[in-house]
Amino acid sequence: MFARSFTRLASRQTVQAVKARAFSTAPRAAANARWTAVAAATAVAGAAYAYNVQTPIQANSKSLAGVKGTETERTFIAVKPDGVHRGLVHKVIERFENRGYKLVGLKAVVPSRQLTEEHYADLKSKPFFKGLVDYMSNGEAPVIAMVWEGPDVIKQGRAMIGATNPLQSAPGTIRGEYCVSVGRNAIHGSDSFESAEKEISLWFGKAGELIDWKRSGSEWVISNN
Ligand SMILES: Nc1ncnc2c1ncn2[C@@H]1O[C@H](COP(=O)(O)OP(=O)(O)OP(=O)(O)O)[C@@H](O)[C@H]1O
């Protein structure tokens, strides 16, 4: 009951935020506020959902990135603001679902500069770092943060995404199909087990925001006989 009214409240807030967006002519500052409202509503809905489910993946799980090399391996995938603006979220989800991977975490986030800088900490010395952080965190669109689970999902996820520079991405990969610029390459995917662990913890925290569930028919997707 408590969770249901929370969910109703959250969806009302989302509808209001979306309506506000549809009718407003206000510039960027207001856009930031609107996306923050959408993100807040999504977070509340997420909390209500987590309240309802049986087995969230909790802080005391051995590893948020699952067990490397097994069907519980997990990766962090994010559709970046340019991908969101261009309506590519469903295409990314479709590709991972079609492949047989399982979605165990999903939310819309307007990341703070601090979160973005931490996420891209290894690029701090690069000339494009400030621009990258600005564009990821300016709130013109959220980042759609996801955690996907399944066999070899970290390496296969990177292969599905394609090379960092879309002009070098193979046709058929996400970047090779939808992007032409390295500064607007639509999507991020963890590049190692250690990165997946760090990034899942950074974006989803350790408080059980990932959901442990069994995909119906999974035996038709994963088996070595
Ligand atoms: N030369 C560049 N100019 C502008 N932006 C760049 C450049 N190189 C990388 N970037 C941006 O920084 C991001 C992180 O770069 P990195 O080298 O870690 O590549 P990646 O691991 O393929 O990308 P991501 O971490 O986003 O999945 C790239 O996705 C891209 O958006």
pLDDT tier at 63 (50, 70, 90 boundaries)? confident
- Closest residue by Cα to atom 28, ligand 1, is 164
- 122 CA closest ligand 1 atom index: 18
Whole-angstrom Cα distance, residue 123 to residue 111? 17
**Residue 49 or 207, more confident:** 207
Mean pLDDT of all residues in 64-78: 94
How many angstroms is it from 37 CA to the middle of ligand 1?
Answer: 28
Instruction: Tell me what pLDDT residue 60 has.
Output: 52
Q: What residues are labeled active site?
A: 188
Spans of all domains in the chain: 74-109+142-212
Q: Give pLDDT, residue 186.
A: 98
The residue among 79, 72, 71, 40 whose CA lies nearest residue 57 is: 72
Homologous superfamily of the 74-109+142-212 domain (CATH): Nucleoside diphosphate kinase-like domain (3.30.70.141)
Residue ranges lining ligand 1, Cβ < 6 Å: 123, 128, 132, 164, 182-183, 185, 188-189, 191
Say if residue 158 carries a ligand binding annotation.
yes
Q: What is the edge-to-edge ordering of all strands in the sheet holding 187-189? A: 102-109, 143-149, 74-79, 187-189
Is 164 within any annotated ligand binding site? yes
Q: What is the pLDDT of residues 123-138, one digit of tens each?
A: 999 999 999 999 999 9
**Is 32 among the annotated ligand-binding positions?**
no
User: Does 74 appear as a known binding residue?
Assistant: no
Half-sphere exposure (Cβ direction) of 148: Cα atoms closer than 13 Å: 27
Instruction: Express each pLDDT in 101-111 by its tens digit.
Output: 999 999 999 99
Residues facing residue 145 across a β-bridge? 78, 107
DSSP state, 215?
P
CA of 146 to the centre of ligand 1 (A): 18
Q: Which atom of ligand 1 is nearest to the CA of 189?
A: 27
pLDDT at site 205: 83
Whole-angstrom distance, CA of residue 154 vs CA of residue 221: 18
Stretch 81-95: mean pLDDT = 98
pLDDT in tens, 155-166: 999 999 999 999
Task: Name residue, tokens 């590893």.
Answer: 63
pLDDT of residue 208: 67
Output the average pLDDT for the chain: 82
129 C-alpha vs ligand 1 centroid, how far in Å?
A: 9
* 63-72, 101-110, 207-216: segment of lowest average pLDDT: 207-216
Q: Spell out where the chain has E strands.
A: 56-57, 74-79, 102-109, 143-149, 187-189, 210-211
The pTM is what?
Answer: 0.79
- Average pLDDT of span 27-39: 49
